[in-house]
Amino acid sequence: MEKRGYGQKILNTTIDNNSFSNHNMLNSSRFFANITFMRGHGIESTDDFITLKAGAHVCTFYENDQEHSTVLADLLRDSLNKNERVLYIADSNHPVDIVTLLAKTEMDTKPYLQNDQFMLKKSTELPVRGKDFDSGKLFAFFSKEYEKTKRQRYSNMRIISVMTCVMLGPPGSERLTAYETVIERLIAKGNHIAVCMFDRRRFLPELLCEALKIHPFAIIGTKLYTNFYYIPTEERITDDPHMAEFNHSIKMILSCNKTNPTRGKGAT
């Protein structure tokens, strides 16, 4: 079977033997099982729309343009209402007219674009694409924009990334890990919010599973959840990532059963 890079279109979300290997089928089943479990047991936001605090690092998983625009509009309203500055990184290979898309949600972004509170950047303008990926230059770029944010007296900087722009190239999670490491360094400095947007139609399932490990919070569809599949950086960066994931899974089992243990009961 021909290998496909993460940057290539994967439009068919139906899993069958002709489109995925057995390995990919297993990863896909695992991802959808994780999402279903989080929907049933996660801590869902009770706000009328999505609201985030400084230091939040969130992944979003959407299945269509309507979910994308709804979530993006919520994120922008939340940010602009808090006097934050927003940097939106778009995929140059698959451009979307964000201004028009948001206008359909009755949100006029033009005033914010004019005063530089809402910035639109194409992936070609940043060192994130394929062989051009450079974590040092990327961190320097974000740091420079944050200094500008402070000079303009905005409260925070919110980075919203369409993740297909990062994952162009051969299959593998190394570039995702490198990008998220830059984001985690920024968040550690304070006054940053980062949202990484994943179009479920265009990513192989093993990368979606990897994304769940990296982000403490997840927006699934249009709802915000605490992500208990998140593995903290100090546990995740290890010579034995499989053991780290196993140890975290044990913690999750113990935590989920703390208030309702089944010891002494038969499994049904």
pLDDT digits (tens, 9 = 90+) for 200-230: 988 888 889 889 999 999 998 888 988 888 9
CB of 227 closer than 8 Å to CB of 218: yes
Query: Quick check: is 265 in a domain?
Result: no
Provide mean pLDDT across the span 241-247. 84
Distances (CA, A) of 67 to 105, 164, 188, 214: 11, 16, 29, 22
Residues 6+ apart with CB under 8 A from 265: none
- Tell me whether residue 162 is in a domain: yes
The arithmetic mean of pLDDT across residues 176-201, rounded, is 90
Closest CA to 7 of 247, 176, 251, 148: 176
pLDDT value for 86 = 97
| 243 vs 159: which has the higher pLDDT | 159
Q: φ and ψ at 183, to 5 degrees? A: -60, -45
Write down the pLDDT at residue 84: 96
| Residue 17 within any structural domain of the chain | no
Instruction: Show the tokens assigned to 16.
Output: 């069958």
Please indicate, yes or no, if residue 15 is contained in any of the structural domains.
Answer: no
Domain count, the chain: 1
Tell me what pLDDT residue 28 has.
57
Whether residue 83 has pLDDT greater than 70: yes
Pick from 224, 216, 148: which is nearest to 183 by CA? 216
Residue 20 is predicted with a pLDDT of 36
| Residue 260, in any domain of the structure | no
**CA 165/CA 184 separation, integer angstroms:** 18
Which CATH number belongs to the domain containing residue 197 in this structure? 3.40.50.11570
Burial status of residue 177 (CB atoms within 10 A of its CB: 0-12, 13-18, 19 or more): middle
Higher pLDDT, 88 or 172: 88
- Residue 153, both tokens: 């007296």
pLDDT at 244: 83
Mean pLDDT value across the chain: 77
Domain extent for 61: 22-252
**Distance separating alpha carbons of residues 149 and 156, to the nearest angstrom:** 7
The pLDDT value given to residue 125: 87
In a domain, 264, yes or no: no
pLDDT winner (highest mean) among 9-13, 14-18, 177-181 = 177-181
Does the pLDDT at position 116 exceed 90? yes
* DSSP category for residue 93: T
Q: How far apart are alpha carbons 141 and 254 in whole angstroms?
A: 42
Does the structure show a pLDDT above 80 at 18?
no
Q: Dump pLDDT digits (tens) for 133-159.
A: 888 999 999 999 999 999 999 999 999
Q: Is residue 10 part of a domain?
A: no
Rounded to whole angstroms, how far apart are CA atoms 126 and 121?
Answer: 8
Asked, for residue 129, whether it belongs to a domain, the answer is yes
Q: Residue 174 pLDDT > 70, yes or no? A: yes
